[in-house]
Structure 1
Amino acid sequence: MSVAPAAPASEPVEPRRTLIDGRVREVSVPALVPRVRRGSLADLPYDNARRDPEAVAFSRKDPEGRWYDVTAARFAADVHAVAKGLVAHGLRPGDRLALMARTTYEWTLLDFAAWAAGLVTVPVYPTSSAFQTRWILQDSGAVGCVVEDAAQARTVTAERQRLPGLAHLWVLDAGAVDQLRRAGARVADETVTARRGLLTPETFATLVYTSGTTGRPKGCALTHANFFAEVDNAVRLLHPVFVPGGGEPAATLLFLPLSHVFGRMVAVACVRAGVRVGHAPSVEGGGLLDGLAAVRPTFLLAIPYVLEKVFHTARATAERDGRAALFDRAARVARRYGRATAPPLTLRAARALYDPLVYRRIRGALGGRVRYVISGGAPLGSRLAEFFAGAGIGVVEGYGLTETTAAATVTPPDRPRPGTVGPPLPGTAVRIADDGEVWLKGPHVFAGYWDAQRGTAVPHTDDGWFPTGDLGSLDEDGYLTVTGRKKDILVTSAGKNVAPAPLEDWLRAHPLVSQCVVLGDRRPYVTALVTLDHEALAHWRRMRGKDHLALWELTRDEELLGVVQRAVDDANRLVARAESIRAFRVLTTEFSEASGHLTPSLKLKRRAVLRDFAREIEEMYGDRGTL
């Protein structure tokens, strides 16, 4: 049995800093909770059911579209029954079970059921190609696979001849959960209890494969101890998020992929902390709005793309209603309020004026009770963080990787610092290497990359430090700012080093811009490829009477190009002249996972972009000389 996190600390833990040449080069923060020494994640549903069997653990949607609650006792019973079904089908302790589905109750149920049966789960993105799916199943040595629908089943079935170790394939839409329950009816309860008893904190819990921006994905072996260290310290640090005041129980709606470590970690943290959880399979369509209205979350987790869409949609709605100027004034007030440590009376009054007119509408669109958003996956940018803070929604920004079980740094709710990703998560150390690379160390850092030949993980280093490949700096208080990827640094033909991330992040914050790729490696100057957000573009066309123009005509429209140029000019203010964008090209297509230009976690595949848009890139340099 694992012990739940203790009550919150009354004072923040003081970080330990190491200075070299007057700069902070290393920061560590002591853990807020002791390490879990026995048990596993498989115990959590059983512990919750014993502690408070009638507590609401989940909100689910039935086939008729009605939402209902699942108690802690019901969830534990579901976990136990499905675990027995996995045992009945011959899966043994340590076997790998792949899960390929969107974000649903069944995903979380199977995750915990697999752990209760002593298995190791292997997430597969539901949008993965046949090759990606086969690689993950093959490399992990998965014995069983659960998919959501017939299309995914066909993807796996087409590769079965190359997967001799894959003995079982279940389809959720075909009643996989009920099939497992029925199969498990003949298995004694004590069998699952014995399986859980074999697990320790150091047992592998999951193999999470990286998105693979440059090559084949690698399996990150995460242990039960990695998850405990991550979620226990996060729950304690973010106590106002997971245990809001005023007697209001915490709730969240998960809509990011559980195949990604960010969503997965928060799902586990919610079960650990007793937070009510709802699931929405996608951020698109009415399902998300329906889930927000039904669950009425007190906090959400999101990637910057989602928060950008919320802001831009609200602004477009205001413009359509003839209230654009009002919205823009409210946005400016929110940003000023969000970055003020002690807002003056006049600013507080202005915020109070705009709250019912603008801010309350945004909170209402998110269910009406949201007080915090946990943002991760990519830098958010200070402008959006300040806006949401001023609108009454605190942004908790974090930074981490699959290899660190998600967050390695987190901005505390009571000490935000927009533009940074916060100080180290308690129990974590951050070091800035001589070349500016961010290194991480702590009990949440993974066991190593999976080695299919050895059937185990190979430790990543001897000293515990994990080099992230990211570049960053620490301020005097130990807050980390990430400035880009080492491998993405551009070196112009004049020898100038350029970090593309700040320019790209700024441009992506513009409502018309979907994606941006900054270029210039071994070139005389910096350029950019820009793609347009089709939803925002449709609104822009309607408002300006340009619906009759084809997309290719719009990308040459002087008014539209002028809008993008002004956005580029704003971004260029962030950097020196030699680092500024001197030319850009607006593309007629969007970068997407389907096009092969984005990973499932929406990271750019730069090699693919450089390859597929080589002509457009050459045109930006071909007739411009050396400017």
Structure 2
Amino acid sequence: MADSSIDRNDTFPKLLIRNARERPQRAAMREKDLGIWQTWSWSQVLDEVQALAGGLMSLGLQRDDKVATIGNNRPQLYWAVAAAQSMGAVPVPVYQDSGADEMQYVLDHGDVRFCVVEDQEQVDKVLSVKDQLPKLEAIIYEDPRGLQNYDEPYLHSLESIQEQGREYARQHQGFYETEVAKGKGEELSVIVYTSGTTGRPKGVMLSYDNLLKSAEFATAFDGVTESDETLAYLPMAWVGDHFITYCQGFLKGFCLNCPESPDTVVTDLREIGPTYYFAPPRVWENLITSVMVRMENASRIKQKMFHYYMALARRVGVDLLEGKPVGTWDRINYAIGNLLVYGPLRNVLGFTRIRLAYTAGEAIGPDIFDFFRSIGVNLKQLYGQTECAVYLCLQKDDDVRPDTVGPPGEGVEIQLADNGEVLYRSPGVFMGYYKNDEETQKTKTADGWVHSGDAGMFTEDGHLRIIDRAKDVGRLHDGTMFSPKFVENKLKFHPHIMEAVAFGHERESVMAFINIDFEALSNWAERENITFTGYVDLAGRPEVYDLIRREVEAVNQDLASDPELAPIQVTRFVILHKELDPDDGEITRTRKVRRRIINERYHELIEALYRGDESAHVAVPVTYEDGGTGVLEGTLRISDATTYEPMKKAG
């Protein structure tokens, strides 16, 4: 038993038992329900997990079975993950906003026997494809509202399953500790399905060793302790949430907080005031948009004060955060700005107690990155992938740069292929893709090197710079290197632009699709007394085109300030009449652009941009909230944007 003893702490259920012993009364999880925060201590979480594990055993759960979780971040769904692992089963988290067909693929491919879901919405989706899931035996729901008249024999409330589990525990004394002790670090811990920018999602198999070794290094690197608090609001199916919230939380014993709903995240963030915060670039972009919208509604005096102190922050804020020397007057003036602007701004955003913040998932625009650091938020970049248990590179507090992701971390080896692709080896490298040996062999070499699919380069002092996805990096007709993501991030820094897609590979110039930020633009339109009937109408208004054109031209001016970037200025753009949507296959659930689908679906619109047409008629398929489909047609205006002569570098 020595190798698999319960004290070995090489699986998350063993860490749960350790936490319940060492810090039984310390808060482990919180959830806001009906406006009130409810708290579970580590000993209470262990009781809940044990009851759920027993209930699953009473339903016939066996080691290596697959248990899906579907829903928003709920303590009960994290319990389900731990309960499955405790009994030697494997959790398979599924994106809660997946359509029924997408959900069916993951549940079927993942050989799922049991589903633990949040509510009626998820029950209905699973039921709609149940006849295509021959291995699915039971659906367990946490929220019973609306389900009273459902009479399927395989449908169970989580409460009833836990009651069965408590009875199971009475009849099988010590079953929980016995099963947990069987677990080993080299065993499969979770199957995380990737977002699939180029095709069907792939199930990434991560072992306990993969996740724990990565988590141990990352938490030691940043000094994460049981006193930290984090907000669990990102999709549970995304490896970022699983790693930060579940893996690091169980390892260090800190508290995870679940918001009441996705709509209350901003309010709940302010109430909790986490010390440790993790978000992909789109969240940071949305936060900036909310700030800019608030300032547009502020008085002229407040606007002037905001812009004055933000200019000061851009000049000296990052240096102060990193402890670098700053002139006495600037230091005093920044302290005043902290009282009047930066402190209140951090408070509004929920960052009053923030000690550590990370962004990952894809490249973040340097303007967005510098904005938060300049107001005193210790935002850093993490580079990694699902296939390496999240982390490859981390940034030290005193060595943070917007254009790199830091040097390779402990135990990580990185090399660049001849075409610039990043290859890596690390303790976190995945076991393989579930039931997909062909893709595993394409991605991972026999000696453990993984093809990241990212194009990168090293700086002279060993920092890794990620350029873009290797398949997306192209060149303009004149040979200028063109990274669409770089241009898109520049555009999305502006508060009225939600999403952008840039084109230019083997073309004379760069063109762009724009998705407006409907909330921000609605606010602006109301102040400007511009009437509109909805998204399509607002997106096509001449006043909106003028506003977006000015923002595109501001990006062009910025690009022109660097002679090497001047050639990738945006010459023409079109505002799309619909948001790019995961349900339509245009972006992933983590909001990464599916460029192949965009290029195919909007081919005629792209050609109209390059032909110099003033407008173009488009008809694209759409998926409605009820799962129905249709076609959205419209004639879209195409606008030119002013480009600027490149500025000469000094000296």
> Which residue number corresponds to residue 613 of structure 1?
602
Q: Is 1:112 aligned to residue 78 of structure 2? A: no
1:355-366 aligned at under 5 Å gives the runs 355-366=338-349
Whole-angstrom distance in 2 between the partners of 1:602 and 1:297: 24
CA shift at 1:81, angstroms?
Answer: 1.3
Please give the residue correspondences for 1:298-377 in structure 2 after superposition, counting only pairs within 5 Å.
298-322=275-299, 323-340=302-319, 341-367=324-350, 368-377=352-361
| Structure 1 Cα separation of the partners of residues 217 and 285 of structure 2 | 28
Q: 1:115 to 1:552 in 2, by over 3 A?
A: closer
Residue identity opposite 1:269 in structure 2: Q
Alignment of 1:583 onto 2:572? yes
Q: Counterpart in 1 of 2:25?
A: 54
2:512 and 2:570 in contact (8 A); partners too: yes
Once the two structures are TM-superposed, the CA of residue 134 in structure 1 deviates from its matched residue by: 1.2
State the TM-score, normalizing by the size of structure 2.
Answer: 0.84
Whether 2:378 is the aligned partner of 1:394: answer yes
Q: Residue 438 in 1 paired to residue 419 in 2?
A: no
Out of 92, 95, 114, the residue aligned to residue 144 of structure 1 is 114
Partner of 2:405: 421
CA separation in 2, counterparts of 1:256 and 1:465?
29
Relative to 1, partners in 2 of residues 1:233 and 1:447: Cα closer, same or farther, differing over 3 Å?
same
Q: Distance in 2 between matches of 1:138 and 1:81?
A: 27
* Residue equivalent to 1:243: 225
**5+ residue gaps, structure 2:** 145-155, 615-642, 644-651
Q: Structure 1 segments of 4 or more deviating over 6 A?
A: 456-459
RMSD after superposition: 2.7
**Deviation, structure 1 residue 77:** 1.3
Structure 1 SS opposite 2:24: coil
Does structure 2 retain, via aligned residues, the 8 Å contact 1:555–1:587?
no
Aligned ranges for residues 473-484 of structure 1 at < 5 Å?
A: 473-484=457-468
After superposition, what is the alpha-carbon deviation per residue over 1:505-531, rounded to whole angstroms, capped at 9, x for unaligned? Answer: 111111111111111234333211111
Say if 1:417 and 1:452 are closer, same or farther in 2 by CA, change over 3 A.
Answer: closer
* Alignment pair present for 1:603 and 2:587: no
Q: 1:198 to 1:458 in 2, by over 3 A?
A: farther
Q: CA deviation at 1:397?
A: 1.4
Partner of 1:221: 205
Match of 1:11 in 2: none
Change (3 A) 1:553 1:291: closer
1:120, CA displacement in angstroms? 0.5
Aligned to 1:20: none
Deviates further, 269-278 or 588-597: 588-597
Would the aligned equivalents of 2:313 and 2:375 in 1 still touch at CA under 8 Å?
Answer: yes
> How far 1:214 moved relative to its partner?
1.5
| Aligned residue in 1 for 2:231 | 253
Check 1:453–1:372 CA distance in 2 against 1; reply closer, same or farther (3 A cut): closer
Cα deviation, residue 221, structure 1? 0.3
More divergent stretch after superposition (487-496 vs 398-407)? 487-496
**In the alignment, residue 617 of structure 1 is paired with which amino acid?**
I
- How far residue 556 of structure 1 moved from its aligned partner, in angstroms, is 6.5
The equivalent of 2:492 in structure 1 is 508
Alpha-carbon offset, residue 624 of structure 1 = 7.3
Greater shift in the superposed pair: 295-304 or 435-444: 295-304
**Could you tell me how far apart the structure 1 residues matched to 2:405 and 2:386 are?**
16
Conserved 8 A contact 2:186-2:208: yes
Letter in 1 for 2:225: V
Structure 1 gap segments, 5+ residues each: 4-35
Question: Which residue number corresponds to residue 138 of structure 2?
Answer: 168
Structure-2 change in CA distance of 1:2 and 1:281 (3 Å): farther
- Provide the C-alpha distance between the structure 2 equivalents of 1:365 and 1:609, rounded to a whole number of angstroms: 36
Tell me: CA distance 1:99–1:597, structure 2 relative to 1, closer, same or farther (3 Å). Answer: same
2:25 is the alignment partner of 1:42 = no
Match of 2:391, SS state, is strand
The whole-number CA distance in structure 1 between the counterparts of 2:412 and 2:110 is: 29
Q: Deviations over 1:560-614 (max 9, x none)?
A: 2432332341353354454332222122322232343221111111122223322
Aligned length: 584
2:471 aligned counterpart, secondary structure: helix
Classify the secondary structure of the residue corresponding to 1:418: coil
**2:354 is paired with a residue of what secondary structure?**
coil
1:146-183 CA distance string (max 9 Å, x none)? 12222221221222222111111112213733122112
Percent identity over paired residues: 28
1:486 corresponds to:
470
One-letter identity of the residue aligned with 1:261: V
**SS of equivalent to 1:377:** coil
The whole-number CA distance in structure 2 between the counterparts of 1:46 and 1:303 is 31
1:529 is matched with: 513
Provide the rounded CA distance (Å) in 1 between the counterparts of 2:551 and 2:266.
31
User: 1:332 is matched by which residue type in structure 2?
Assistant: A
SS in 2 for 1:256: coil
CA distance, structure 2, for counterparts of residue 462 and residue 428 of structure 1: 17
For 2:274, the aligned partner's letter is: P
Query: Deviations for 1:476-512, whole angstroms, at most 9, x for unmatched residues?
Result: 3322211101111234455554221211111111111
Which residue of 2 is the match for residue 186 of structure 1? 168
Is the CA contact 1:254–1:301 (under 8 Å) kept in the aligned structure 2?
A: no
Which residue matches 2:36? 66
Shifted more, 377-386 versus 397-406: the winner is: 377-386
Q: Look up the match of 2:559.
A: 572
**Equivalent AA in structure 2 for residue 551 of structure 1:** L
Q: Taking structure 1 as reference, are residues 177 and 342 closer, same or farther at Cα in structure 2, changes over 3 Å only?
A: farther
Structure ranking higher on relative contact order (CA contacts 8 Å, 6+ apart): 1
Decide whether aligned partners of structure 1 residues 381 and 459 sit closer, same or farther in structure 2, where only a CA change above 3 A counts. closer
Per the TM alignment, residue 423 of structure 1 is displaced from its structure 2 partner at its CA by: 1.8
Specify whether residues 162 and 509 from structure 1 end up closer, same or farther in structure 2 by C-alpha distance, changes over 3 A only: same
Paired with 1:382 and 1:458, the residues of 2 have a C-alpha distance of 33
CA gap of 1:183–1:453, structure 2 versus 1, over 3 A, is: farther
Candidates 404, 429, 432, aligned match of 1:448: 432
Which sits farther off after the overlay, 186-195 or 131-140? 186-195
TM-score w.r.t. the length of structure 1 is 0.87
Amino acid across the alignment from 1:252: T
Query: In the alignment, which of 134, 158, 179 is matched to residue 177 of structure 1?
Result: 158
SS in 1 for 2:592: coil
Shift, 1:290, TM fit: 3.9
Specify the code of the residue in structure 2 equivalent to 1:607.
R
Instruction: Tell me which of 168, 187, 201 is aligned to 1:203.
Output: 187
Is the CA contact 1:125–1:259 (under 8 Å) kept in the aligned structure 2? yes
* Cα displacement string for residues 387-414 of structure 1 (whole angstroms, at most 9, x for unaligned residues): 2222221002111111111122111223
Give the drift of 1:365. Answer: 1.9
Aligned residue identity for 1:128: S
* Cα distance between partner residues in 2 of 1:380 and 1:369: 23
- Contact kept? 2:8, 2:14, Cα under 8 Å: no
